[in-house]
Amino acid sequence: MNNLLFPLTLALFATPGILFSAEMKSSKTSAAKDALECQPGEISACGLPSNVVIDMSKARVQRTDEEWKKRLTPRQYQVARQQGTEPPFQNEYWDHHADGVYFSACSDTPLFDSRDKFDSGTGWPSFTKPIEQALVGETTDTSHGMTRIEVHCNVDGAHLGHVFDDGPGPTGRRYCINSASLRFLPRAEYNAWVAKNNPAPAK
């Protein structure tokens, strides 16, 4: 874990009475196909929306449905708040190669580092791991006749995408994430954000 981020992560979870957990479950899929395995006309596992219920009672950032609609674009709202999805190869970050950090579109929460991003060939941004596992929750998703693991931001409850056990090393995992659930901060701006939110202790 990023040493600069560790105290900041503790602060995100330090709100009294709030406990976050990122329960690890198997992400083996049955009948879930990926974009590279699909025949013409078939829909990949990443390309299907989710029907899971995300437990918002533990989320630190909570807003009404109307507040989310005002803060987000229609696509962001449909994906992040209604657990939808976006088309492959037609989203902002699938072919994005800049150095930096991807935050939740719904809060000031860093989720994925560009250093952990890879080209999965699926048409969606793919990462081998989150910046901090505790910030990304996992829920079993049995919609559409298949078993997938849905992932969401534990801080604000935003639906992110799904995680699969077919990624490269060292984790072997592939976090297939919707661009609409993310916002990107270049490395220099991210470092400034960390310095601002995690000041050095007084000597």
Distance CA 9, CA 168 (A): 26
- For residue 74, whether the previous peptide bond is cis, meaning omega lies within 30 degrees of 0, is no
For the chain, the C-alpha Rg in angstroms (whole number) is 17
| 46 tagged catalytic | no
d(CA 8, CA 132): 11
Q: Which residues contact residue 108 at a Cβ distance below 8 angstroms, ignoring those fewer than 6 apart?
A: none
Is the C-alpha dihedral spanning 43, 45, 51, 54 positive or negative? negative
Backbone angles phi, psi at 124, to 5 degrees: -125, 155
Instruction: Write down the catalytic residue from 46, 106, 153, 176.
Output: 176
Residues catalogued as catalytic? 176
